[in-house]
Structure 1
């Protein structure tokens, strides 16, 4: 059981576990999950870390989309953000890149979930390791993440 699953269980948040065989040659982890689990890719969300070199934040967008750094900067009310270094992302979250869950991270980081998540009854995010996704309601994800908000943060 990953820290993400433990956190959801502690908070009595209903969720489902979806496992698949991760291809070690695959680098597009989110699309791999959508394809192997036969899910609508618009409902599968990736967890990205961004930083202004003082603070680090979590941004959650559909795997079919690109994060808009200007929009996410506005959402967090900071001047300018860039993608966090993968090693720092692993150190701060306690998860490996490709398996970074927005839930149960080692350090509580402010989180922004793209508004498009609210279009669905259930979305899927990494469960804390490659080959494991968690399905849950967008509002439940909001409650399970640290200082989480919804905002429009993907490229249009």
Structure 2
């Protein structure tokens, strides 16, 4: 598998060190982040999933631990909106340039406001999608937030 993706190129351009981790992506898996965590042997709370949402009909990107559930109320609040909903997969793919199951917060076709779950970035290293199904990247959490030009916010359901 080629490890060069728009996400990895964006990180290289930003001079952010990362390690690639590959696994056998299972199409149709309901919880891709949990499948990835199991496949690479990393605690699911340290494997982050990237989700595309719409806040007051405007696109946004959120990154949360793979074992957590998103709170749409908190997402709306984080971006100063009134309501939020999940983006339709086809729209997310067109907007980001990535296939669902491979969406990364880095190197998207069009940068959108991005937020990381604040409790997910308390450790030094996190793992998230590298821009292709079956390709994960391990990198410094603070550098990930900076490279994604993201905010830190409470996004998960209690």
**Aligned counterparts, 1:1-156, within 5 A:** 1-52=4-55, 54-145=57-148, 147-156=149-158
- 1:26 Cα deviation (Å)? 2.2
- 1:53 Cα deviation (Å)? 5.3
Deviating 4+ runs (over 6 angstroms): none
1:66-122 deviation digits (Å, cap 9, x = unpaired) = 001101111100111111111000000000000001110001011000011222110
Q: TM-score, normalised by structure 2?
A: 0.94
Rounded Cα–Cα distance in structure 2 between residues aligned with 1:109 and 1:25: 27
Rounded Cα–Cα distance in structure 2 between residues aligned with 1:141 and 1:40: 18
Q: TM-score, normalised by structure 1?
A: 0.95
Residues matched between the structures, number:
155
Rounded Cα–Cα distance in structure 2 between residues aligned with 1:106 and 1:23: 25
| Alignment gaps of 5+ in structure 1 | none
- 1:25 Cα deviation (Å)? 4.1
- 1:28 Cα deviation (Å)? 1.6
RMSD: 1.1
Aligned to 1:123, the other structure's residue is in SS state strand
